[in-house]
Structure 1
């Protein structure tokens, strides 16, 4: 597989922000509504706000799991924002990742999110496949999905960039080369 290019990295950053907002905004609105309707007066206010905060934190973690692990597992490797931005998570072989791979990717956002996401950005820009740490561990990669001729994107095909960086190739199983195929086995080299 070749280099996805910086365009995929930029789309991934936008996708990450959109998916975060998809979870955060409803949680914030819910927290505001709960505080507005049920807030106590006096000394009970601070314990109440702590309960609301920890409850919203728990709901946010559940929402993050839903959007970043369960949803892409059930919807062809795409979060809602990935679908909009024509991105998809696939294994290095071009197959659909397991639910476990999506869960591990989400858990490793703790590492990738270090220093407000700077760690994940640096790792992504430092490797040729534009993988963050969670992708490296789970052997997945985020690729662009080509548009179909009717203008829509194909949810069934992931695109890997061609030699000129254009995204025209379709992911498929990669052929493994043996030692004889690359000229490392002396026995087979003499017969050629």
Structure 2
């Protein structure tokens, strides 16, 4: 495996910020809605701010687990921001990481996020495969996804969205086929 360039570290930092923003904005709106509906009747502003803070912490934790653990496990090793920036998580042997590997990566963000992410950034810059501590422990690597010449600009209904799992038509296979002239008449 060749050593990735430093550019992948910049992409990963932008990806992290985009994923955080993707979780933070809906979480903030939901926290405001929850507080609005269940506003505590107490001493005033301080209690209100405490409820907002605790609500946001819980929603942030759940949202981050969804975006950084469950979503990439179900979508080819990519968070939404990784897909936009053409990055994906793979195991060291090139396979798809397990749900546990994604969970380990996220739990160790506590270490990588130390000093506002400086610890993880330094580890990525000095590691051979540009891995942060969570990647090293989970035995994963973040790689750039090469652009394909036949890749469409917009996603196709190819099973990623669950619309059409393959090239199928609503006719009987004997009538119309996509098998390049090899019809199977029974």
Could you state the TM-score of these two structures normalised by the residue count of structure 2? 0.76
Q: Distance in 2 between matches of 1:68 and 1:105?
A: 9
Specify the alignment match of 1:127 in structure 2: 127
Specify the alignment match of 1:187 in structure 2: none
Q: Distance in 1 between matches of 2:40 and 2:99?
A: 42
Q: Distance in 1 between matches of 2:120 and 2:61?
A: 19
Alpha-carbon contact 2:23-2:63 (below 8 Å) kept:
yes
Between 80-89 and 29-38, the greater mean CA deviation after superposition: 29-38
Alpha-carbon contact 1:35-1:49 (below 8 Å) kept:
no
Q: Distance in 2 between matches of 1:37 and 1:45?
A: 16
For structure 2, the 5+ residue unaligned runs are 156-186
Q: Distance in 1 between matches of 2:71 and 2:101?
A: 13
Once the two structures are TM-superposed, the CA of residue 43 in structure 1 deviates from its matched residue by 1.2
Once the two structures are TM-superposed, the CA of residue 47 in structure 1 deviates from its matched residue by 2.3
Q: Is it true that 1:143 corresponds to 2:143 in the alignment?
A: yes
Within a 5 Å distance, the mapping from 1:28-43 to structure 2 comes to: 28-35=28-35, 39=39, 43=43
Compute the RMSD of aligned alpha carbons: 2.0
Once the two structures are TM-superposed, the CA of residue 42 in structure 1 deviates from its matched residue by 6.5
Alpha-carbon contact 1:90-1:97 (below 8 Å) kept:
yes
Between 99-108 and 40-49, the greater mean CA deviation after superposition: 40-49
Specify the alignment match of 2:67 in structure 1: 67
Shift in alpha-carbon separation, 1:61–1:121, aligned structure 2, 3 A = same
Please state whether the residue corresponding to 1:90 is helix, strand or coil: strand
Could you state the TM-score of these two structures normalised by the residue count of structure 1? 0.74
Q: Distance in 2 between matches of 1:58 and 1:11?
A: 28
Specify the alignment match of 1:118 in structure 2: 118
Q: After TM superposition, where is structure 1 displaced by more than 3 Å over at least 4 residues in a row? A: 32-42
Highest RCO, 1 vs 2 (Cα 8 Å, sep ≥ 6): 1
Q: Distance in 1 between matches of 2:97 and 2:151?
A: 26
What is the total number of aligned residue pairs between the two structures?
Answer: 154
Q: Distance in 2 between matches of 1:31 and 1:79?
A: 23
Shift in alpha-carbon separation, 1:40–1:54, aligned structure 2, 3 A = closer
Alpha-carbon contact 1:87-1:145 (below 8 Å) kept:
yes
Please state whether the residue corresponding to 1:142 is helix, strand or coil: strand
Within a 5 Å distance, the mapping from 1:83-122 to structure 2 comes to: 83-122=83-122
